[in-house]
Amino acid sequence: MRESTGGKVFSVFVHVVLIIISLTCILPFLHLVALSFSEGHAVDLGQVYFWPVGLDFTAYAYFFENTPALRAFTNSVVITLCGTALSMLTTVLTAYPLSRRYMYARKPITTAALFTMLFSGGMIPTYLVMNSLHLTNTYWSLWFVGLVSTYNMLIMKSFFENIPGEVTDSAQIDGCGEMQLLGRIILPLSLPMLATLTLFYGVGYWNMFMNVILYINRTELQNLTVIVQSMLQIQSMDNMMAMDVAQQQELISEKMKAVGVMVMVVPMLVVYPFLQKYFVKGIMLGSIKG
Amino acid sequence: MTTTPATAGTDRVLKPRQAFYHTKRFRQNIPLFLMLIPGILYYVIFRYFPMGGLVIAFKDYNFRDGILSSPWVGLKYFEILFQSKITLQVIWNTLELSVLNLIFGFPAPIIIAIALNEVRKNWLKRWIQTIIYLPHFLSWVIVAGIVLTLFSIDGGTINKLLAQWGIEAVPFLYRADSWVAIFIGSGMWKEMGFGAIIYLAALSSIDPSLYESAGLDGAGKLRQIWHITLPGLRPTIILLLILGMGRLMEVGFDQVYNLQNPTVLGQAEVISTYVYKVGLQQAQFSLTTAMGLFESFVGLILVLSANALARKFDQGLF
Q: Is residue B246 domain-shared with residue B206, that is, in the same domain?
A: yes
**Average pLDDT of B140-163?**
85
Of A25, A257, A283, the CB nearest to B145: A257
| Residue B69 covered by a domain | no
Chain pair A-B, CB pairs under 8 angstroms: 258
Are residues A210 and B246, on separate chains, in Cβ contact within 8 Å? no
Interface of A with B in 50-79 (CB under 8 A): none
Measuring CA to CA, how many Å separate A103 from each of A95, A186, B1, B25? 12, 16, 11, 8
Q: Residue B59 forms beta bridges with which residues?
A: B72
DSSP-assigned states of every residue in A49-102: SSS-SS---HHHHHHHHSSTHHHHHHHHHHHHHHHHHHHHHHHHHHHHHHH-TT
With a cut of 90, say whether residue A77 has pLDDT above it.
Answer: yes
Helices (H) and strands (E) in chain A, counts: 17, 0
**Average pLDDT of A180-189?**
90
Chain B partners of A103 at a C-beta cutoff of 8 Å?
29, 32
pLDDT for res A225: 93
Closest CA to B251 of B281, B285, B275, B279: B275
* Cβ(A136)–Cβ(A215) below 8 Å: yes
Which range has the worst mean pLDDT, A67-71, A96-100, A155-159, B89-93? Answer: A67-71
pLDDT digits (tens, 9 = 90+) for B192-205: 998 898 888 888 88
With a cut of 50, say whether residue A210 has pLDDT above it.
Answer: yes
Chain A partners of B282 at a C-beta cutoff of 8 Å?
none
pLDDT for res A250: 57
Q: How far is B13 from chain A (nearest CA, A)?
A: 22
**Average pLDDT of B64-76?**
85
Does residue A177 belong to the interface with chain B, where contact is any CB pair within 8 Å?
yes
* % of chain A exceeding 90 in pLDDT: 40
Of B52, B139, B299, the CB nearest to A264: B139
Question: What domain range includes position B52?
Answer: 5-63
Interface of B with A in 154-213 (CB under 8 A): 155, 157, 160, 189, 192-193, 197-198, 200-201
Q: How far is A203 from chain B (nearest CA, A)?
A: 7
Of A116, A209, A261, the CB nearest to B145: A261
d(CA B64, CA B233): 55
Does residue A167 belong to the interface with chain B, where contact is any CB pair within 8 Å?
no
Closest CA to A272 of B48, B135, B183, B58: B135
Are residues B2 and A288, on separate chains, in Cβ contact within 8 Å? no
pLDDT for res A235: 44
Of B50, B138, B193, the CB nearest to A121: B50
Residue B13 φ then ψ, to 5°: -75, -20
| Residue B252 covered by a domain | yes
Closest CA to B188 of B98, B104, B74, B283: B104
Q: What is the dihedral of CA A278, A280, A286, A289, to 10 degrees?
A: 150
* Cβ(B274)–Cβ(B265) below 8 Å: no
pLDDT bin (cut points 50, 70, 90) of residue B218 is confident
Q: How far is B107 from chain A (nearest CA, A)?
A: 15
Give buried/exposed letters for B200-222 (b at 16+ CB in 10 A, else e): bbbbeeeeeeebeebbeeebebe
* Cβ(A289)–Cβ(A151) below 8 Å: no
Q: What is the dihedral of CA B281, B285, B290, B296, to 10 degrees?
A: 60
pLDDT for res A236: 39
Residue B269 φ then ψ, to 5°: -80, 120
Q: Is residue B48 domain-shared with residue B169, that is, in the same domain?
A: no
**Average pLDDT of B64-91?**
89
Helix (H, G, I), strand (E, B) or coil at A103: coil
pLDDT digits (tens, 9 = 90+) for A25-49: 988 888 888 888 887 777 777 777 7
**Average pLDDT of A41-68?**
77
d(CA B183, CA A18): 22
Chain B partners of A32 at a C-beta cutoff of 8 Å?
146, 149
pLDDT for res A281: 61
With a cut of 90, say whether residue B145 has pLDDT above it.
Answer: no
* Cβ(A98)–Cβ(A109) below 8 Å: yes
Q: Which of B3-7, B105-109, B123-127, B249-253 is predicted most confidently?
A: B105-109
Q: Is residue B93 domain-shared with residue B128, that is, in the same domain?
A: yes
pLDDT for res A115: 92
**Average pLDDT of B109-117?**
93
Which range has the worst mean pLDDT, A78-92, B57-71, B179-193? Answer: B57-71
d(CA B17, CA A65): 70
Does residue A19 belong to the interface with chain B, where contact is any CB pair within 8 Å?
yes
d(CA B172, CA B261): 12
User: pTM higher than 0.90, yes or no?
Assistant: no
**Average pLDDT of B45-66?**
90
| Residue B303 covered by a domain | yes
Are residues B138 and A207, on separate chains, in Cβ contact within 8 Å? yes
- What mean pLDDT value characterizes chain B? 86
Q: Is residue B49 domain-shared with residue B82, that is, in the same domain?
A: no
With a cut of 90, say whether residue A252 has pLDDT above it.
Answer: no
| Residue B42 covered by a domain | yes
Give buried/exposed letters for A17-51 (b at 16+ CB in 10 A, else e): ebeebbeebbebbebbbbbbbbbbebbeeeebeee
Chain A partners of B139 at a C-beta cutoff of 8 Å?
206-207, 209, 225, 264
Q: Which of A248-257, B17-26, B160-169, B293-302 is predicted most confidently?
A: B293-302
Q: How far is A244 from chain B (nearest CA, A)?
A: 23
Q: Is residue B163 domain-shared with residue B307, that is, in the same domain?
A: yes
Chain B partners of A127 at a C-beta cutoff of 8 Å?
280
Burial class (CB in 10 A: 0-12, 13-18, 19+), B157: middle
Chain A partners of B130 at a C-beta cutoff of 8 Å?
273, 276
Does residue B2 belong to the interface with chain A, where contact is any CB pair within 8 Å?
yes
**Average pLDDT of B261-268?**
88
d(CA B24, CA B10): 10
Of A93, A145, A214, the CB nearest to B280: A214
pLDDT for res A148: 96
Q: Is residue B57 domain-shared with residue B104, that is, in the same domain?
A: no
Are residues A1 and B116, on separate chains, in Cβ contact within 8 Å? no
pLDDT for res A149: 94
Closest CA to A206 of B118, B230, B141: B141
pLDDT bin (cut points 50, 70, 90) of residue A137 is very high
pLDDT for res B249: 82
Tell me the CATH number at B263.
1.10.3720.10
Q: How far is A170 from chain B (nearest CA, A)?
A: 13
Q: Is residue B234 domain-shared with residue B119, that is, in the same domain?
A: yes
- H or E element: which one contains A143? helix A139-145
pLDDT bin (cut points 50, 70, 90) of residue A239 is very low
Of A7, A117, A289, the CB nearest to B220: A7
Interface of A with B in 218-257 (CB under 8 A): 225, 228-229, 232-233, 235, 254, 257
Are residues A101 and B317, on separate chains, in Cβ contact within 8 Å? no
**Average pLDDT of B233-260?**
87
| Residue B31 covered by a domain | yes
Q: Which of A29-33, B182-186, B311-315 is predicted most confidently?
A: B182-186
Instruction: Give the number of other CB atoms < 10 A from CB of residue A235.
Output: 8
Among chain B residues, CA nearest to A266: B138
Closest CA to A214 of A158, A157, A284, A136: A136
Q: Is residue B143 domain-shared with residue B22, that is, in the same domain?
A: no
With a cut of 90, say whether residue B212 has pLDDT above it.
Answer: no
Does residue B4 belong to the interface with chain A, where contact is any CB pair within 8 Å?
yes
ipTM value greater than 0.85: yes
* % of chain B exceeding 90 in pLDDT: 41
Which range has the worst mean pLDDT, A37-46, A168-177, B144-153, B297-306? Answer: A37-46
Which range has the worst mean pLDDT, A171-180, B9-18, B117-126, B132-141? Answer: B9-18
With a cut of 90, say whether residue A65 has pLDDT above it.
Answer: no
pLDDT bin (cut points 50, 70, 90) of residue B11 is very low
Chain A partners of B262 at a C-beta cutoff of 8 Å?
235
Instruction: Give the number of other CB atoms < 10 A from CB of residue B230.
Output: 13
With a cut of 50, say whether residue A103 has pLDDT above it.
Answer: yes
Does residue B119 belong to the interface with chain A, where contact is any CB pair within 8 Å?
yes
Of B38, B144, B280, the CB nearest to A232: B144
Q: Is residue B207 domain-shared with residue B258, that is, in the same domain?
A: yes
Q: Is residue B172 domain-shared with residue B223, that is, in the same domain?
A: yes
Q: Is residue B118 domain-shared with residue B155, that is, in the same domain?
A: yes
Does residue A113 belong to the interface with chain B, where contact is any CB pair within 8 Å?
yes
Q: Is residue B53 domain-shared with residue B144, that is, in the same domain?
A: no
| Residue B253 covered by a domain | yes
With a cut of 80, say whether residue A263 has pLDDT above it.
Answer: yes
Of B31, B63, B95, the residue that ends a domain is B63
Of A102, A144, A232, the CB nearest to B28: A102
Which range has the worst mean pLDDT, A77-91, B59-73, B110-124? Answer: B59-73
- How many domains are there within chain B? 2
d(CA A100, CA A160): 8
Chain B partners of A273 at a C-beta cutoff of 8 Å?
130
Q: How many Å from the N-terminal Cα to the C-terminal Cα in chain A?
A: 41
**Average pLDDT of B173-201?**
91
Are residues B141 and A109, on separate chains, in Cβ contact within 8 Å? no
